[in-house]
Amino acid sequence: MAICYVQLKEMEKARDALLKALNLKPFYSPLMVSLAYLYKELDDLPEAEKYFQAVYEQEFNRFSIAYELYEIYKQTGRINLAASILEKLYFYNKENPTLLLDIARTFYEAGDNIKAINYYSQYLEDFPDSPSEEIYLRRGVCFFREGLTKKARSDFNRSRKKNPHLLRKVFLDELVK
Residue 176 has pLDDT above 50, yes or no: no
Q: How many CA atoms lie within 13 A of 3 on its CB side?
A: 2
Whether 36 contacts 68, CB under 8 Å: yes
Q: For 102-116, what is the mean pLDDT? A: 91
Domain covering 1-93, topology: 1.25.40
Are both 1-93 and 104-177 of the same fold?
yes
Whether 75 contacts 94, CB under 8 Å: no
- What is the domain partition of the chain in residue ranges? 1-93, 104-177
Residue 1 has pLDDT above 60, yes or no: no
User: The domain 104-177: what is its CATH number?
Assistant: 1.25.40
pLDDT at 25: 81
Interatomic CA distance for residues 34 and 111, integer angstroms: 34
pLDDT tens string 119-128? 999 999 998 8
Which distant-in-sequence residues (6+ apart) come within 8 Å of 105 by Cβ? 116, 138
Interatomic CA distance for residues 20 and 133, integer angstroms: 52
Judging by beta carbons within 10 Å of its beta carbon (0-12, 13-18, 19+), is residue 120 exposed, middle or buried?
A: buried
Whether 135 contacts 123, CB under 8 Å: yes
